[in-house]
Amino acid sequence: MRALTPMRIEAGGPFQAATPAIVLASGSATRRTLLASTGLRFTAFAPDVDETAVKIATRRDGGTPEHSAMALAGLKAAAFQGQDDVLVIGCDQILVCNNVWFDKPATLAIARDHLQHLRGRTHTLVTATICMRRGQRVWSHMAKPKLTMRNFTNTFLDAYLAEEGEAVLHSVGCYRVEGLGMQLFDAMEGEHSAILGLPLTPLLAYLRAQSIALA
């Protein structure tokens, strides 16, 4: 893993204290949009973490998806190494269906296979979030939203993949519930932001409790 440091740390905004600055250790545009929607000011960077290696090691050692997601969230947060007092937020999400762990598809053909496997079934989005400050873990949270895909037709699947294209390759579930992905589901359980990969309600509660965000 290669430690990365953003070029410039953003100062706090009107809804937060002047210090510490907030760093989001994620390359996900969705997570960045979610955090920005709260009015908090932060710096984001994409940490260099070998997620596949961590998942393989976790399975080999008998670990659970929860262990793997939390370990990855911690590694992503720890990838930031700066001299300033900052709060670093690391996140990871693993999709599990019938004890099968899913990774982001590399091709549209693999995405099709994933969606065919998930069709008509309920899967869990194991979503881990960790906050680190001065190199120490200060908070962690695990959310596990459950989503049930409807038994859609192959005709719909073809149309969906044609419309979404390579956008499905950026999601472990091959869907964006903030867009056309909503068409895939019969039911969803869990906070919407947790489904998208960053549970905002518990995170904001922690930030307010620590006087980092305004109460």
pLDDT profile of the chain (215 residues), mean per 10 = 54 88 94 96 94 90 96 95 87 96 94 97 98 95 98 98 95 93 97 97 98 95
Active site residues: 92
Q: Are 51 and 12 in contact (CB under 8 A)?
A: no
Q: Specify the pTM.
A: 0.92
- Report the alpha-carbon distance of residue 133 to residue 137 in Å, rounded: 7
3-state SS, residue 8: coil
Q: What residue spans define the domains of the chain?
A: 21-209
| Tokens coding 54 | 């961590």
pLDDT by residue (tens digit) across 40-74? Answer: 999 999 999 998 899 999 989 999 999 999 999 99
Under CATH, which number does the domain 21-209 receive? 3.90.950.10
Nearest to 181 by CA among 198, 205, 164: 164
CA distances from 7 to 21, 43, 69, 92, 130 (A): 14, 9, 27, 23, 22
Q: What is the pLDDT of residue 109?
A: 97
Q: Are 91 and 13 in contact (CB under 8 A)?
A: no
Please report how many Cα atoms fall inside a 13 Å half-sphere around the Cα of residue 53, on the Cβ side.
5
pLDDT by residue (tens digit) across 14-26? Answer: 999 999 999 999 9
Question: How long is the chain?
Answer: 215
- Report the alpha-carbon distance of residue 85 to residue 57 in Å, rounded: 32
> Backbone phi, then psi, for 28, in 5-degree steps?
-80, 120
Nearest to 171 by CA among 181, 183, 158, 182: 181
Q: Which amino acid is at 185?
A: F
CB burial readout 25-40, b (16+ within 10 A) else e: bbebebbeebbeebeb
